[in-house]
Amino acid sequence: MTKKIASTTVEHGEKSAESRNDCIQAEIILQENTALLRQATENTRLSAVIFDRQMRYLIVSREWFEDNNLTNDIIGSCHYKFNLRQSHSCQ
C-alpha cells in the first residue's frame, strides 16, 4: 500500500507547517515499510539477505544465518569480510 504525500513549497530555507507534517508522515511510512520488509525477510523459509550499496548487511533471514553458520552480529558488516572467496573490498 502506498500513500501519496502532497508536495509543498519551501520559502527562504524554512519549512512550512504543512511541509513538516509531510516529512513526519513520510518518515512514519518509511518506518512502517522497513518493518514489514524486515519481518518478511527474517521470517521467510528461503535463504535471503538484503544489502546496501556498499554490500553491508541490512536484513538477513534466519535460514541464511543457518546456511552460512553466522550470527546476528553481522548486521552492518561488509559481505566480503565473511565471504573470502570474493576479491572485492568494501568502501
Classified as helix, coil or strand, 60 is: strand
Question: Domain locations in the chain?
Answer: 17-82
Task: Please provide residue 57's backbone torsions phi and psi, each rounded to the nearest 5 degrees.
Answer: -70, 130
* Measured CA distances, 66 to 60, 70, 71, 73, 83 (Å): 10, 7, 8, 14, 15
Averaged pLDDT of the chain: 77
pLDDT at residue 42, as a whole number: 83
Class for domain 17-82, per CATH? alpha beta
Q: What is the pTM of this model?
A: 0.57
Tell me the pLDDT band of 31, cut-offs 50, 70 and 90. very high
- Band of the pLDDT at 23, cuts 50, 70, 90? very high
| Residue 73 DSSP class | G
- The alpha carbons of the chain give a radius of gyration, in whole angstroms, of 18
